[in-house]
């Protein structure tokens, strides 16, 4: 896995907000078909680094490389156009719209009516929903139903489907199992594994160490805005990760 060129390289990235040093010389890589889990307490820097990667704000020092090229996106839209999709805990889905409409949210396809009038291409959106959900082995009877009608795990699948449809190279998942029951958590972890099998790079943030140990190829631990350790799940324990998180 690590023989391949990394999709993403974080090199000594720092970021401060006034007097608060949110990140201090953080480094890690994400390779194709690899799940890198970020572990750490609240305020450890996990959210700050994903926001720097995904164009929410710019870092102060260090380098972020995507496919070997330095990036410094000014907006999340720019990050998406370059193959980085971020799935936040609140999912950013429009409850009143269908799966297809959510996949294209802000990027709606148009077709010409009578050759002159541009209207939404609903057939294309429905087709994309069907194809994407099939790739995730996700079966719902009503693709045209508003996403408000779906459960938490199904909504995660829709957000992941959007990332797949737009052919993201890197998928960032922020607490994807947090508000879900156990069966739905399992379903989401299966979706993470299917993304990995499709060769995507995945950054997985979770407070749930059990989920981290189940899906991660590497665990990068953050403490006070710094790397406090990197471990392969097979070579560490829950206890050791907790000690790295709290500095014991």
pLDDT tens digits for range 95-109? 898 888 888 887 788
DSSP state of 35: E
Alpha-carbon distance of 195 to 35, in angstroms, equals 9
The domains of the chain are located at 1-83+170-179+199-248, 91-167
Alpha-carbon distance of 177 to 130, in angstroms, equals 24
Alpha-carbon distance of 248 to 242, in angstroms, equals 8
DSSP state of 234: G
Nearest CA to 46 out of 236, 219, 210, 192 is that of: 219
The average pLDDT across 2-30 equals 92
- Give how far the C-alpha of residue 181 lies from the chain's centroid of Cα atoms, to the nearest Å: 20
Residue 1 has pLDDT above 60, yes or no: no
What is the reported pLDDT for 28? 97
Give the predicted TM-score (pTM) of the model. Answer: 0.86
DSSP H or E stretch at residue 80: helix 76-81
Lowest mean pLDDT among 155-159, 202-206, 223-227: 155-159
For residue 157, how many other CB atoms are within 10 A of its CB?
25
Residue 153 has pLDDT above 80, yes or no: no
Phi-psi region of 194 (alpha: psi -120 to 50; beta: other; left: phi over 0): alpha
- For the stretch 154-185, pLDDT in tens is 888 888 888 878 888 999 999 888 877 787 78
Q: Give the neighbor-by-neighbor strand order of the sheet with 61-66.
A: 20-30, 8-17, 61-66, 69-70
Q: Rounded to the nearest 10 degrees, what angle do helices 182-197 and 152-165 cross at?
A: 10
CB 183 within 8 A of CB 207: no
Alpha-carbon distance of 23 to 146, in angstroms, equals 39
- Between 134 and 24, whose confidence is greater? 24
And the tokens for 85?
């999709």
Lowest mean pLDDT among 144-148, 178-182, 241-245: 178-182
- For the stretch 39-83, pLDDT in tens is 999 889 999 999 999 999 999 999 999 999 999 899 988 998 899
Tell me which architecture the domain covering 1-83+170-179+199-248 has in CATH.
3-Layer(aba) Sandwich (3.40)
Alpha-carbon distance of 141 to 138, in angstroms, equals 10
Give residue 145's pLDDT band: very low, low, confident or very high (50, 70, 90): confident
End-to-end CA distance of the chain: 31
Secondary structure of residue 73 in the 3-state scheme: coil
């Amino acid at each position: 896995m690590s023989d391949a060129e990394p999709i993403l390289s974080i090199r000594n990235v720092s970021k401060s907000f006034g007097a608060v040093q949110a990140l201090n010389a953080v480094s890690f890589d994400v390779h194709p078909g690899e799940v890198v889990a970020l572990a750490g307490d609240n305020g450890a820097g996990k959210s700050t680094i994903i926001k720097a990667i995904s164009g929410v704000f710019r870092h102060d020092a260090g380098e972020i490389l995507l496919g070997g090229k330095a990036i410094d996106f000014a907006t999340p839209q720019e990050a998406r156009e370059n193959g980085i999709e971020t799935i936040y805990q609140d999912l950013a889905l429009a409850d009143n719209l269908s799966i297809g409409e959510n996949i294209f949210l802000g990027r709606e396809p148009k077709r010409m009516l009578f050759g002159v009038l541009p209207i939404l291409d609903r057939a294309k959106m429905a087709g994309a929903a069907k194809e994407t959900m099939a790739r995730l082995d996700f079966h719902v009877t009503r693709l045209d139903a508003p996403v408000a009608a779906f459960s938490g795990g199904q909504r995660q699948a829709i957000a992941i489907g959007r990332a797949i449809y737009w052919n993201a190279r890197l998928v960032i998942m922020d607490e994807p199992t947090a508000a879900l029951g156990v069966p739905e958590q399992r379903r989401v972890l299966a979706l993470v594994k299917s993304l990995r099998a499709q060769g995507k790079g995945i950054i997985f943030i979770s407070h749930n160490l059990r989920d981290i140990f189940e899906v991660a190829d590497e665990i990068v631990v953050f403490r006070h805005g710094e790397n406090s350790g990197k471990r392969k799940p097979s070579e560490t324990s829950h206890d050791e990760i907790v000690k790295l998180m709290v500095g014991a």
